């Protein structure tokens, strides 16, 4: 029986682990990967203390910090159910079943899919959801970025340094991302923007050869060798069946990171906090660990 199980090792989960370790909690971290979305973020210019650092570098620093403590970590493991019975919480994964007095869910978000013909067939055959991971594979090639928010702009900015031409396909009339990124994309001279345009198919034979878009009710095809899907994120909260969520499937928490179930806490992008950023997720992870520690102190330790 652990004191605390943390699900997820992105900025929220890692920071929670560091705080819990410093409180000497008997701790287990279960995660599909280490670093989370931070490890695939491009240039990070808003993490205090670093005027500039890349996402992968920052994620590595988080990981090194966590590994500096003697923390049990189950990597490449996925939580599939979390249940509270009596005083204990059971976490079922794709490999085993674990028990703890408390749990922090810090499972973040994942990329939303397009759901158009060709998407599944050409996934990893020219179609990708991660510019930071895959942009270098498209050196000198023509590529399309689908989306209009910060993730799409971030992908576009990475690709203008690598690809020969970048098309940005945006369903809305204007980009919705940060003004600084919008300006950089506009000034690059490398990006052709298709606004009010909906992607209707990914085309190809063995690999991607193009996309079909519907622009102002007219179908047209663009020849590209790469497609970067950047249309938003959905919370990894399906396994937390009994836990209350909002209409976006984000876990509802209070200011102490408590969910509707005592002993189960949540932190970071998977929750209904309004802003999704690395520094915020890290701070939320710290808060959640301190709340879990307080819960343990109240419920497990005899009063003196
Ligand atoms: C392209 C991109 C660029 C970004 N740029 C910036 C930026 O410049 N500045 C900034 O502040 N923020 C940026 N962000 C946002 C930032 O990365 C996130 O807000 C932050 O990583 C959220 O941290 P988190 O720990 O809550 O979740 P995540 O980082 O999503 O981590 C979740 C963790 O949970 C694991 N997990 C998921 N499901 C399960 C499961 N069922 N079982 C076990 N483990 C699971 C995942 O593998 C992962 O390790 C960017 C995001 C993206 C995608």
Gap from CA of 11 to ligand 1 centroid (Å): 7
Looking at residue 47, the DSSP 8-state letter turns out to be: B
User: Could you give the residue range(s) of every CATH 3.50.50.60 domain in the chain?
Assistant: 2-110+233-299, 127-229
Classify strands 218-223 and 208-215 as parallel, antiparallel or unpaired: antiparallel
Report the CATH superfamily, name and number, of domain 127-229: FAD/NAD(P)-binding domain (3.50.50.60)
Q: 132: closest CA among 252, 228, 275, 10?
A: 228
The owner of tokens 């989306």 is: 147
Gap from CA of 10 to ligand 1 centroid (Å): 5
- For position 41, what pLDDT does the model report? 80
Q: Which atom of ligand 1 is nearest to the CA of 233?
A: 53
Choose which residue among 17, 278, 287 to substitute to test ligand 1 binding: the one with the highest number of ligand atoms within 8 A of its C-beta. Answer: 278
- For position 301, what pLDDT does the model report? 67
Dist CA 167 CA 44 (whole Å): 23
Dist CA 16 CA 9 (whole Å): 9
Identify whether the C-beta of residue 58 lies closer than 8 Å to the C-beta of residue 35: no
Does ligand 1 have an atom closer than 6 angstroms to the CB of 284?
no
Dist CA 280 CA 278 (whole Å): 5
Dist CA 136 CA 46 (whole Å): 24
Q: Whose CA is nearest to atom 20 of ligand 1?
A: 278
- For position 40, what pLDDT does the model report? 84
Active site residues: 130, 133-134
Classify strands 191-194 and 165-169 as parallel, antiparallel or unpaired: parallel
Dist CA 213 CA 203 (whole Å): 11
Identify whether the C-beta of residue 203 lies closer than 8 Å to the C-beta of residue 178: no
pLDDT digit string, tens, across residues 147-170: 999 889 999 999 999 999 999 999
Report residue 64 as tokens.
Answer: 């090194």
Q: 126: closest CA among 149, 147, 144?
A: 144
- For position 232, what pLDDT does the model report? 87
Q: Which CATH architecture is the domain 2-110+233-299 placed in?
A: 3-Layer(bba) Sandwich (3.50)
Dist CA 242 CA 225 (whole Å): 43
Dist CA 33 CA 76 (whole Å): 6
Dist CA 138 CA 107 (whole Å): 30
Backbone φ and ψ of 30, nearest 5°: -120, 125
Q: What is the pTM of this model?
A: 0.86
Residues 6+ apart with CB under 8 A from 46: 277, 278, 279
Distances from the Cα of 25 to the Cα of 12, 62, 125, 211, 252, angstroms: 17, 19, 44, 52, 25
pLDDT along the chain (304 residues), means of 10: 97 98 96 94 87 93 96 97 96 98 97 95 92 88 96 93 96 92 91 95 97 94 97 95 96 98 98 94 98 93 57
Report residue 99 as tokens.
Answer: 């028990």
Q: Whose CA is nearest to atom 9 of ligand 1?
A: 44
Report residue 198 as tokens.
Answer: 């909906």
Report residue 148 as tokens.
Answer: 């209009």
């Amino acid at each position: 029986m652990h004191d605390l199980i943390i699900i997820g090792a992105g900025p929220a989960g890692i920071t929670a682990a560091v705080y819990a370790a410093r409180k000497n909690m008997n701790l287990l971290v279960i995660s599909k990967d280490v670093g989370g979305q931070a490890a695939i973020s491009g240039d990070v210019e808003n993490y205090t203390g670093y005027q500039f650092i890349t996402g992968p570098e920052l994620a590595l620093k988080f990981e090194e910090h966590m590994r500096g403590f003697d923390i049990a970590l189950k990597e490449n493991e996925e939580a599939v159910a979390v249940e509270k019975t009596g005083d204990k919480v059971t976490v079922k994964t794709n490999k085993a079943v674990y028990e703890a007095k408390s749990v922090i869910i810090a499972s973040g978000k994942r990329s939303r899919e397009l759901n158009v013909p060709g998407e599944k067939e050409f996934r990893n055959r020219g179609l990708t959801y991660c510019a930071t991971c895959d942009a270098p594979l498209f050196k000198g090639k023509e590529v399309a970025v689908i989306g209009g928010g910060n993730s799409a702009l971030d992908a576009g900015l990475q690709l203008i340094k690598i690809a020969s031409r970048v098309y940005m396909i945006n369903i809305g009339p204007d980009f919705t991302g940060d003004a600084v990124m919008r300006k950089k994309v506009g000034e690059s001279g490398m990006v052709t923007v298709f606004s009010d345009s909906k992607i209707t198919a990914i085309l190809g034979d063995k690999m991607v050869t193009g996309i079909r878009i519907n622009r102002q009710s007219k179908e047209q095809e663009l020849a590209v060798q790469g497609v970067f899907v950047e249309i938003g994120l959905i919370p990894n909260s399906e396994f937390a069946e009994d836990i209350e969520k909002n209409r976006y499937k984000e876990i509802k928490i209070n200011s102490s990171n408590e969910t509707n179930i005592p002993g189960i806490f949540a932190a970071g992008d998977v929750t209904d906090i309004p802003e999704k950023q690395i520094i915020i997720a890290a701070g939320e992870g710290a808060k959640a660990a301190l709340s879990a520690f307080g819960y343990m102190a109240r419920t497990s330790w005899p009063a003196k």
